[in-house]
Amino acid sequence: MSRNVAIVGVGHSKFGVRNDVSLPELAWESIKMALNDAGIEQKDIGYVVVSNVGGWSSEPLPAVVINEYAGICPTGTVRVEAACASGSAAVKLAYDMVASGHVDIAMAVGVEKMNESPTPTVVEFIGRAGNYFWEFQNFGLTFPGYYALYMTAYMNKYNAKEEDFCKVAVKNHYYGARNPKAQFQKEITVEKCMASRYIAWPIKLYDSSPITDGSAAVILASEEVAKQLTDSPVWIRAIGYASDTSNLSKRENFTSLKAGYLAGERAYKMAGIDKENVLKVFDVAEVHDCFTIAEVMAYEDLGFAKRGEGIEMIRNEETYIGGKIPVNLSGGLKAKGHPIAATGEGMIAELTNQLLSRVEKDRQAPIKNGYALAHNIGGTGHYAYVTILSLSKS
Amino acid sequence: MSRNVAIVGVGHSKFGVRNDVSLPELAWESIKMALNDAGIEQKDIGYVVVSNVGGWSSEPLPAVVINEYAGICPTGTVRVEAACASGSAAVKLAYDMVASGHVDIAMAVGVEKMNESPTPTVVEFIGRAGNYFWEFQNFGLTFPGYYALYMTAYMNKYNAKEEDFCKVAVKNHYYGARNPKAQFQKEITVEKCMASRYIAWPIKLYDSSPITDGSAAVILASEEVAKQLTDSPVWIRAIGYASDTSNLSKRENFTSLKAGYLAGERAYKMAGIDKENVLKVFDVAEVHDCFTIAEVMAYEDLGFAKRGEGIEMIRNEETYIGGKIPVNLSGGLKAKGHPIAATGEGMIAELTNQLLSRVEKDRQAPIKNGYALAHNIGGTGHYAYVTILSLSKS
């Protein structure tokens, strides 16, 4: 019943501290790139979904400010927020819109300028990204603190060590060093990670993604229009999604993000993929490594590894190129950076480029089956979106 | 190609100063009502779109807090913002989702607790709802100030008087007095309106909608599911939308909101309605009367009146029941109240009840053709959404 939907253009700004540009200028970097990639103009777009959290921005209507600057008016628009999964939510809504037949071309653009605010303000704002009323205000939980609960539970249950988690950071910095768009372009060692200061034990500075400015854009089109625009469409085969309680105290366990698990199940079902076979299906994946523990849980929630064996995958370097499934070849949130509402479009832009074999050679995954997966978490698993892309339509 | 989509349940809280409830409790009032109206449970819903602007709220992730409280987890969710049109944008996205076939039932729920913040903070925040960087910070324009530019231009071009605009407030208070959900339930006179203090000349206190807490919810279903749930579905026949420049200094004229006009054109085209005939088609409408001038411009942008003749419609009481087209029988934003991100769902819930002839008798429009229209503006015409509802499917 649904129409097939393809990605026909992507754009991705340099991530990092971007005091050189304003919010709309930063968004335009990606929009311009995506328009050029698709070979279309602004007027060809039927609807624009802007993802931006932006509590640190002085502009409370970021979508209209961005759309005026980008020459998109009078096209219809909206801003969406699903915490750190806002970008994937924007792609999902643009996807529905094209699939429904209401428009033929839609764009999702994510942008965030987190460095506009003083760091303590950003940290407080992100700390509220759970249940402010109970857990932040009453118990003083910060965002690294939330994930520290998961990391300690995982370490305890599966006998994992801090050094093991540092290997996630080492891998992602290794690939970030090869990505000119990444915020951090240098390799690190387990020793350097272990020597970094604690943010919320056992999470250290090098277990954590940075505060980032950046943007990314994805243009979607119906099958008919996609065929006119490009010989190399990348098809959206499924988007799964789920939510979880705002209060962490109501969660069932602390070694898995249930919403991430459920979003994966839904996506696999929609795409007709047997979860037992995922390692045989996907050529490459981007997963949400806001902290190193999150990447390990993602391996297990998505079925890349059995419960408790995610940590083995990273110990054995099975998520590097040449391993069972290469993960976060962009550098991930850890090294590429995490401009929160642009992260989802950033993952999908990266995977589109991976599937089309057009990223830097030393971080290009070998493309065999032509399948890729983006796993994007909002908050501490409050939101989750899993997007499956493919070079084949069905 | 698109699937038909019907409204199968609506809910609407009491609007006003709601210090008696928290944000999730306020949302739940409408969600519960809508679930009961549809005869379904939370688990039956495939996706929830939450509209909330909420710069005055301490919860930066309102959707997850609301969804936990309302028992909606682990259903997928997102928060959307399109300024004062957020609610209609939420309905539009839920509509796409059901029309696409990706889910069979989706809910849009809007909620706002504006009175959580001190009044000067709310006024400043709303003042930023344009282009903060240029027009608010540099020129000190406030939100009533923006609309005052339109009102003075209209008065000058069409020889309209302040008294004429007061008649919009008188009508909307007349109907608000008959709506138990309204924030203001008493009638006013032109004299009382004229005697109220200036906020931004020529806009007076009684030309202005209030600061409101409230929620509203709309549940949508595919044709197949709607038929199982109800004998009286209300069909969404079209949703039109458009945007305009964030800087008012770039607008072409100040006697019309171009985005509102374009959203109407798009909606009429999608619904197959000849704009020349709108007065013969629609039994009732809700239009965006954040200030009285906005209702008059809406008459003209939507084709209820020719350019310059909107003011005649209100002078001649043609938008009361019995006139050419009854408008804002809920009391409108002016008297029912304007909890900004809940206003859109509030309009659509009201019109659903009007079409089903289930509102209070003395404010019930006679339903002849079974068509209704909701016109919802964000900012000063930065966003616009026009939704057309009908008792007939096609």
A332 Cβ partners below 8 Å, 6+ apart? A172, A175, A176, A209, A286, A287, A289, A295
Residue A19 domain flag:
yes
pLDDT of B140 reads: 67
Is the pTM higher than 0.95? The answer reads yes
Structure tokens at B256: 């019309």
In angstroms, the CA B105 to CA B35 distance is 11
CB-CB: which of B22, B96, B131 is closest to A102?
B96
Over range B138-148, report the average pLDDT. Answer: 81
Over range A19-46, report the average pLDDT. Answer: 97
In angstroms, the CA B61 to CA A378 distance is 10
Residue B216 domain flag:
yes
Residue that is written with structure tokens 């118990």 in the block: A139
In angstroms, the CA A327 to CA A283 distance is 9
Look at residue A189 and give its three-state secondary structure: coil
Query: In chain A, how many domains are there?
Result: 1
Nearest CA in chain B to A250: B68
Dump pLDDT digits (tens) for A273-295: 999 999 999 999 999 999 999 99
Residue B337 domain flag:
no
pLDDT of B76 reads: 97
In angstroms, the CA A80 to CA A52 distance is 7
Dump pLDDT digits (tens) for B234-285: 999 999 999 999 999 899 899 999 999 999 999 999 999 999 999 999 999 9
The set of catalytic residues of A is 84, 338
Residue A63 domain flag:
yes
- Average pLDDT of chain B, as a whole number: 95
pLDDT band at B99 (very low <50, low <70, confident <90, very high): very high
Any idea what DSSP says for residue A82? Answer: B
Residue A260 domain flag:
no
Which amino acid makes up residue B109? V
Structural domain boundaries, residue B77 = 5-118+211-229
State yes or no: pLDDT of A217 exceeds 80: yes
CB-CB: which of B1, B64, B80 is closest to A243?
B64
Which amino acid makes up residue B292? T
CA distance B210 to chain A (A): 20
Strand partners, B217: B11, B109
Residue B309 domain flag:
no
- Average pLDDT of chain A, as a whole number: 95
Interface size, chain A vs chain B, as Cβ–Cβ contacts under 8 Å:
207
The set of catalytic residues of B is 84, 338
Q: Do A77 and B383 touch (CB under 8 A)?
A: yes
Query: Is the Cβ–Cβ distance between A7 and A219 less than 8 Å?
Result: yes
**Closest Cα partner for A55 from B62, B282, B151, B185?**
B62
pLDDT of B138 reads: 61
State yes or no: pLDDT of B1 exceeds 70: no
Please write down the long-range contacts of B177-181, taking CB distance under 8 Å and 24 or more positions apart: B177/B331, B177/B335, B178/B331, B178/B360, B178/B362, B178/B363, B179/B330, B179/B331, B179/B335, B179/B336, B179/B359, B179/B360, B179/B363, B180/B14, B180/B360, B181/B12, B181/B13, B181/B14, B181/B15, B181/B330, B181/B336
Percent of chain A scoring above 90 in pLDDT: 88
Q: What value of ipTM does the predicted structure carry? A: 0.96
CA distance B127 to chain A (A): 10
Residue B114 domain flag:
yes
Look at residue A41 and give its three-state secondary structure: coil
CB-CB: which of B60, B100, B242 is closest to A74?
B242
Question: Looking at residue B12, which CATH number applies to its domain?
Answer: 3.40.47.10
Residue B41 domain flag:
yes
CA distance A94 to chain B (A): 9
Which chain A residues touch B101 with a CB distance below 8 Å? 1-2, 99-100
